């Protein structure tokens, strides 16, 4: 009886099939990979297709005169206007004026925002001195004090740069302060244990430790910078994309206005991509 | 030899393993620590007395929340004591009678969690303490390279911590502490979060480096095994408020071999003695 069972057992073991070289498990893995890649591709397609579909819909509506083309011209008309503006070279002056103001304003806002933010994060005394001022002045719409900027910095680029800088400064500062506050205390202990100087603590612990929050602030501030730029150019400029939009509207050149809006949107998109790229390079450990 | 290189050499110099200078290095007298949380007075440490000799390896064991980490942080200067005395004797000269480099930290701490800076590569992490002391870059890198080698991190000098395993990160943390050549090394459950096998490897390596350098070490752990393997003396602490119940000497010769120690019946004897003291304390701590 026992022998019988033993025989069956050994038999069953010996008849095991050799594992085929192309294992089904491997195939399954590669299938999974393929479907993952397809999914990624599909997601990209969707994010491009949605705006295109909307534009198509808009085009149809205006061609069928369902919407008033005096105010909502067909996208094809806007794009051809845009082409003309680039061809005639008219747009370049506006574009460069706006980009210059944004870049200078952004830098003048970001640098002091980060530095003061970190100092506030490190030093309770500095925080106590500055925080109430920040809290009180932050909710004031920056465009509301633009007349003051015009008086102080003149009607040239200075006033536009200054108002962008101020708007950017607040966002970056507030994010940097919370960035420092959110540095895990263990890193602060390490700095203390090795008796690092204030400067080393600032540069090697507080600044890099706050970077994830700082970048969140930088991205937010970029959007704010464009919003403030356009509003400032609406009311107090003789060049720039905001001026283009507003002046076109006041003479009912609606297609020019839309072309200006489109360029602003593209600027916003490109600056977001650029910041995302910089973030990946600067904070590779954040995933 | 330039002054800056002394650190470098005093670490690597082979020393006879039996040397143990007389006298205490750290003296804790009637030390207590209490704090207030939501207006409730909590006593964390009560009347601790310890006298740790120069070059001795002490392990603190006790139930979780018993104040062993707090005691370590008080010794490191990261926290303040409430009552009692803490003395730490500094050396003006090293073993060769030469004047030691000034501005050296008294102690370096190896922390419980992952304390390696994620934004610095391995080499910069290891040389952070040296940077804090103002060493020029070339010397920092030279010293860091030595410890990269020593702790089996070769080829990872430029890697960022997120590319490393937990064990590798703790190696970096240990290297960072040794790199500054501190008088005292304070280790707060440095291997607590690692898997058993990685932990054993790191214990071996710590023993090896320590036996070369013979620093005064206080090592906090919740593992009795770990304490026996590493320590000259095991300090058993009670449940909160932490009191020192007993100091148990571990008389295994050095250099130690972990496998041989585990096989020795003496290992089991020490284990039962420590567990005998701890068991009721752990139960007490859990009921709180």
Residues of A in contact with B118 (CB under 8 A): 285
CA distance A212 to chain B (A): 11
The chain B residue lying nearest A284, using CA atoms, is: B119
What's the average model confidence in pLDDT over B103-123? Answer: 83
Q: How confident is the model over A182-231, as pLDDT tens digits?
A: 999 999 999 999 989 999 999 999 999 999 999 999 999 999 999 999 99
pLDDT tens readout for residues B58-95: 999 999 888 889 999 999 888 888 989 888 876 654 54
User: Would the pLDDT of A32 be above 80?
Assistant: no
What are the angstrom distances between the C-alpha of B34 and each of B55, B92, B173, B282?
30, 34, 29, 21
Contact B185, B108 (CB under 8 A): yes
3-class DSSP state for residue B278?
A: helix
Q: Rounded CA gap, A250 and A252, in Å? A: 5
Which of A74, A79, A77, A78 has its CA nearest to residue A61? A74
Is the reported ipTM for this assembly greater than 0.90?
A: no
Cα separation, A241 vs A96, whole angstroms: 9
What residue in B sits closest to A287 (Cα-Cα)? Answer: B162
Tens digits of per-residue pLDDT, B132-162? 989 999 999 999 999 999 888 999 999 999 9
Q: What is the mean pLDDT of residues A232-246?
A: 90
Higher pLDDT, B89 or A9: B89
Q: Is residue B6 over pLDDT 50?
A: no
Among B186, B234, B241, which Cα is nearest to B74's? Answer: B186
Chain A residues with CB inside 8 Å of B189's CB? none
Distance, CA of A131 to CA of B145 (rounded, Å)? 44
CB contact under 8 Å between B128 and A194, yes or no, is: yes
CA distance A282 to chain B (A): 9
Query: Is some CB atom of chain B closer than 8 A to the CB atom of A281?
Result: no
Q: What is the mean pLDDT of chain A?
A: 88
A186, A191, A285: residue with CB nearest B119: A285
Under a CB-based contact definition with an 8 Å cutoff, are residues A98 and A244 in contact?
Answer: no
- Tally the residues of chain B: 288
pLDDT digits (tens, 9 = 90+) for B256-272: 888 899 999 999 999 99
Q: Is-contact B261 B267, C-beta < 8 A?
A: yes
Cβ atoms of residues B109 and A189 within 8 Å? yes
Average pLDDT over residues A22-51: 77
Are B239 and B287 spatial neighbours (Cβ–Cβ below 8 Å)?
no
Q: Is the dihedral of CA A48, A49, A51, A52 positive or negative?
A: positive
pLDDT at A3: 52
- Using CA atoms, how far apart are residues A63 and A65, in angstroms rounded to an integer? 5
Categorize the per-residue pLDDT at B193 as very low, low, confident or very high, splitting at 50, 70 and 90: confident
Q: How far apart are CA A127 and CA A36, in angstroms?
A: 48
Residue of A nearest to B107 (CA): A193
Beta-strand pair B57-61/B40-53: unpaired
Q: Do B109 and A190 lie within an 8 Å CB cutoff?
A: yes
Q: What mean pLDDT value characterizes chain B?
A: 84
Lowest mean pLDDT among A4-8, A71-75, A97-101, B40-44: A4-8
How far apart, in whole angstroms, are the C-alpha atoms of residue A170 and residue A162?
A: 13
Through-space distance between the first and last CA atoms of chain B, rounded to whole angstroms? 57
- Alpha carbons B186 and B226: distance in angstroms, whole number: 15
pLDDT at residue B96 above 70? Answer: no
């Amino acid at each position: 009886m026992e022998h019988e069972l033993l025989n069956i057992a050994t038999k069953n073991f010996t008849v095991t099939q050799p594992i085929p070289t192309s294992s089904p498990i491997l195939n399954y893995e590669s299938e999974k990979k393929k479907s993952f890649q397809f999914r990624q591709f599909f997601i990209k397609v969707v994010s491009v297709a949605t705006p295109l579909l909307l534009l198509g819909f808009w085009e149809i509506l205006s061609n069928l005169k369902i919407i008033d083309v005096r105010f909502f011209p067909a996208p094809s008309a806007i794009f051809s206007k845009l082409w003309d503006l680039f061809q005639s070279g008219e747009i370049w002056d506006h574009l460069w004026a706006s980009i210059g103001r944004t870049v200078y304003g952004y830098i003048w806002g970001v640098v002091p925002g980060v530095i003061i933010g970190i100092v506030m994060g490190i030093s309770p005394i500095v925080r106590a001195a500055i925080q109430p001022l920040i809290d009180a002045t932050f909710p004031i719409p920056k465009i509301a004090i633009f007349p003051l900027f015009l008086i102080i910095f003149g009607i040239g680029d200075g006033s536009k740069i200054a108002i962008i800088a101020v708007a950017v400064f607040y966002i970056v500062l507030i994010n940097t302060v919370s960035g420092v506050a959110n540095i895990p205390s263990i890193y602060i202990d390490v700095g203390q244990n090795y008796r690092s100087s204030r400067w080393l603590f600032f540069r090697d612990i507080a600044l890099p430790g706050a970077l994830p929050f700082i970048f969140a602030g930088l991205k937010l501030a970029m959007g704010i910078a464009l919003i403030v730029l356009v509003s400032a150019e609406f009311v107090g400029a003789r060049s720039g994309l905001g001026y283009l939009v507003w002046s076109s509207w006041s003479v009912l050149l609606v297609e020019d206005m839309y072309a200006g809006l489109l360029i602003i949107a593209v600027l916003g998109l490109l600056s977001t991509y650029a910041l995302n790229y910089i973030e990946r390079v600067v904070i590779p450990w954040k995933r | 030899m330039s002054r800056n290189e002394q650190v470098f050499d005093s670490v690597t110099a082979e020393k006879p393993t039996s040397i143990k200078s007389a006298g205490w290095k750290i003296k804790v007298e009637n030390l207590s620590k209490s704090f207030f949380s939501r207006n409730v007075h909590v006593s964390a440490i009560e009347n601790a007395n310890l006298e740790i000799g120069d070059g001795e390896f002490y392990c603190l064991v006790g139930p979780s929340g018993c104040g062993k980490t707090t005691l370590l942080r008080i010794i490191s200067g990261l926290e303040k004591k409430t009552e009692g005395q803490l003395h730490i004797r500094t050396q003006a000269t090293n073993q060769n009678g030469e004047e030691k480099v000034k501005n050296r930290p008294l102690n370096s701490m190896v922390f419980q969690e992952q304390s390696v800076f994620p934004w610095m590569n391995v080499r910069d992490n290891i040389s952070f303490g040296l940077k804090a002391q103002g060493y020029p870059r070339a010397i920092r890198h030279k010293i860091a390279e030595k410890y990269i080698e020593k702790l089996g991190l070769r080829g990872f000098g430029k890697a960022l911590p997120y590319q490393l395993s937990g064990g590798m990160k703790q190696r970096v943390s240990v290297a960072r502490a040794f790199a500054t050549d501190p008088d005292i090394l304070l280790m707060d459950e440095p291997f607590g979060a690692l898997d058993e096998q990685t932990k054993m490897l790191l214990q071996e390596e710590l023993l090896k480096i320590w036996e070369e350098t013979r620093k005064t070490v206080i090592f906090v752990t919740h593992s009795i095994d770990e304490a026996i393997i590493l320590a000259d003396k095991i300090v058993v602490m009670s449940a909160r408020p932490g009191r020192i119940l007993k100091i148990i000497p571990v008389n295994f010769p050095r250099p130690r071999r972990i496998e041989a120690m585990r096989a020795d019946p003496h290992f089991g004897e020490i284990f039962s003695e420590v567990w005998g003291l701890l068991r009721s304390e752990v139960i007490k701590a859990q009921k709180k």
